[in-house]
Structure 1
Amino acid sequence: MKIKIAILFITLFSLLYLIGCGAGQKAREAASVVDTPEIHYDRGKVLLDQEKYGDAMFEFEQAVSLNPKFAPAYEGMAWIYLEEQNLESAMEMANKSLDLDGKWVLAKIARAEVKAKQGKYDDAIDEAKDAINDIPKSSVPDKNKARVQGYMTLGDIYKEANMYNEAQDAYGRVLELDKTNMKADKAIKDLAAYKSAVAGQRPELQKIAGQKRITRADVAVLFALELPLQKIFREAPQPTQAGFRP
């Protein structure tokens, strides 16, 4: 009996120790004045826009190593996981960011995109709109840039939901905020081409053509339906090549 109690005590002690170590993750010391969570996050977002996902993840990880409770870094990671189609990890990172800072609305915008990828378009649209409305009272320093990202994401969600007029309006709001925004300008042009490509086509085609990546299974569906493959591959968004640094 005494042996059992001793084993139980040791097990509980070990468990509490491990939990304590995890909760008290030690931050590394900054190597220089530019080695800060904020600077690494900003670099990561720039690299994310350039579709250099491996380099972006490295910067976000550096931010976390300096401050494990730095909410923006986890939001940045959520976007990378979204690009990798890892929706579970993307949702986890978005939620973790919001747990650490409930006013970091960019994490809500990322979470809205996750919901859209899950096919929960109504929830995604509501969350994206709520995030945009919350921007004035948020902890995000650049409110205008946050609005740009918010409306850009909302446009993407509308497009995925086959709500083309609403998508165009959202992209238009981006250009109102940033007249030189090339992404929004390209999105409007791509949307027009996309609408032309799927006009009068079956819902299966519309869903596949709106995807960033077309899988072998999608191609099999297109062959089975005898749909215009050449037109689809020409008009559909092209996949990006990215990988993590070794």
Structure 2
Amino acid sequence: MFNRKIFIMLAAISLLFFYACGPKAMAPRAELDTPEHHVAVGNKLLKAGKIDAAFREFNRAKELSPKFSPAYVGLGLVDGFRDNFKNSLKTMKEARKYARGDEQKIAVNVGFMRLYIMGKTNIDINWLKLTEEEFDKAVLISKDVSAPYFYMGLAYKISYKFRQAVDRFSRVLELDNGYIAEADKEYALVQKIERAMPGSKIGKKIALVEKITRADIAALFIEELKVDEIFKKRTPKKFDIAFKSPEKQLETGIYVKILPATDIDDHVLKADIDAVIEIGIKGLQPFPDHTYKPYQTITRAEFAMMIEDILIKLTGVDDLATRFIGSVSLFPDLRNDLPYFNAVMICTTRGIMVAKDLATGEFDAIGPVSGADALLSIRMLKSQL
């Protein structure tokens, strides 16, 4: 009996010692110095890309309440943005341990989803399946919270599962209780990609790019439009039947041929770039210094001129190059004396391109071209060839 009392006393002392050694909450210094306020500010900073400032806010929330789950969710996301996925997953597991109530538990599910989307195969080869599992857990708690649907939509989008992505973004818009603007933008983008129906893997990948480059458009012209195959079919084969002196034929090693483009040797899209260079599409030729500048973004005006050149070459209608010169501009931001005016008019009157802003009618000639818009234009161009 006596030994039992001693055991109970020792156990109680041990528990007291354990809790005494645990993290202690700091006292607030101001009225708004609360865990909830710091997490809210941290989330805003995270959204703005201010990672270090967000870390300070989440860390302060943790100092004020060492077992406040949302603080750990925020800290886990900060580590994710810093590509420290091992630590981020560990922190997110702590968030799950401290989660209290449905709202915090769903926030943890969403936190894990966001980490898997950020890290993808750097976290796990089955990252999409893991994301779906967290989504299922979240909707099991409540089917009326927008965040899980929005991030599941993002996961499907970057996995090229566009139909599933549309369904998730559509659900966010139906719920109308958060992520409305973000979901509306993503919904419109994915619907545009679905209409464009990219057939190649590279086409699906470029469809998600906001500002395509010279390398990207070369790949789309070859992989989606298959412009090289069309040129081969429609362009008569040329034979060199001119007389050549035998002596001239035997001369070798005298001249060193310079490559058309010297900066694409290690580019993943080199084959597509070489193909468009060989065709000689206006606007996609190497620069005078023999560089192609594959990472340089293209403008809407440049894109229009490329399409105009393809149309002229493949249709054989030479007067397309001057058809709208002197015509009245249909766009308030496009003068009819600009060098790309005719190309823009060719593309827009044929429905290959449209105004950037349908409300104001502005074309935005110097603006970038998104992958989705390029694919839609190529699909329309293909139907006219």
**TM-score range for the pair, normalised by the shorter chain length:** 0.5 to 0.7
Q: Residue in 1 aligned with 2:157? A: 159
Alignment partner, residue 129 of structure 1: 136
- Measured against aligned partners, the alpha-carbon deviations of 1:18-41 in whole angstroms (never above 9, x if no partner) come to xx6996122221001211111111
Corresponding residue number in structure 1 for 2:84 = 86
Query: What is the distance in 1 between the residues matched to 2:209 and 2:109?
Result: 22
How big is the shift at 1:188?
1.5
CA contact (8 A) 2:150 2:183 kept: yes
8 Å contact 1:125–1:158 — kept in the other structure?
Answer: no
Q: Aligned partners of 2:99, 2:208: CA distance in 1, in Å?
A: 33
Preserved contact between residue 205 and residue 222 of structure 1 (Cα < 8 Å): no
Give me the identity figure in percent: 25
- Cα-to-partner distance string for 1:188-215 (whole Å, 9 max, x where unaligned): 123245556771222x563576589x9x
| Aligned equivalent of 2:181 | 182
Q: Aligned partners of 1:34 and 1:201: how far apart in 2? A: 53
CA distance in 2, matches of 1:76, 1:200: 39
Following TM superposition, by how much is the alpha carbon of 1:97 offset from its aligned partner in structure 2, in angstroms?
0.1
- CA gap of 1:133–1:89, structure 2 versus 1, over 3 A, is same
The answer as to whether partners of 2:207 and 2:370 remain within 8 angstroms in 1 is: yes
Tell me the residue number matched to 1:200: 199
1:107 equivalent in structure 2: 108
Q: Structure 2 residue aligned with 1:223, among 245, 249, 269?
A: 269
What is the number of residues matched between the two proteins? 204
Alignment match, 2:370: 235
Residue from 11, 34, 37 that aligns with 2:32: 34
The answer to whether the 8 Å contact 1:194/1:235 transfers is no
Query: What is the identity, as a one-letter code, of the residue corresponding to 2:133?
Result: D
1:46-104 CA distance string (max 9 Å, x none): 33333333322221111011111111111122233333333223222211100112652
Looking at structure 2, the residues matched to 234 and 87 of structure 1 have their Cα atoms a distance apart, in angstroms, of 33
Number of the residue aligned with 2:43: 45
TM-score, length basis structure 2: 0.45
* Runs of at least 5 residues in structure 1 that lack an aligned partner in the other structure: 1-19, 137-143, 238-246
Contact 1:129–1:154 under 8 Å retained in 2:
no
1:170/1:98 CA distance change after superposition, 3 Å: same
Structure 2 vs 1, CA of residues 85 and 159 (structure 1 numbering), >3 Å: closer, same or farther?
A: farther
Normalised by the size of structure 1, how large is the TM-score? 0.68
1:4-43 equivalences in 2 (<5 Å): 24-43=22-41
Q: Mean Cα displacement is larger for which, 185-194 or 151-160?
A: 185-194
Provide the rounded CA distance (Å) in 2 between the counterparts of 1:25 and 1:36: 17
Give the residue type in structure 1 aligned to 2:142: I
- If asked which structure has higher relative contact order (CA below 8 Å, sep 6+), I would say 1
User: Which of the pair is proportionally richer in helix?
Assistant: 1
Distance 1:169 1:225, change over 3 A: farther
Map 1:35-74; keep pairs closer than 5 Å: 35-74=33-72
Unaligned runs of 5+ in 2: 1-17, 217-263, 277-293, 299-367, 373-385
The DSSP-based 3-state class of the residue aligned with 1:34 is coil
Q: Secondary structure at the match of 1:226?
A: helix
Q: Is the 8 A contact 2:152 2:168 kept in 1?
A: yes
CA distance in 2, matches of 1:87, 1:163: 25
Alignment RMSD:
3.6
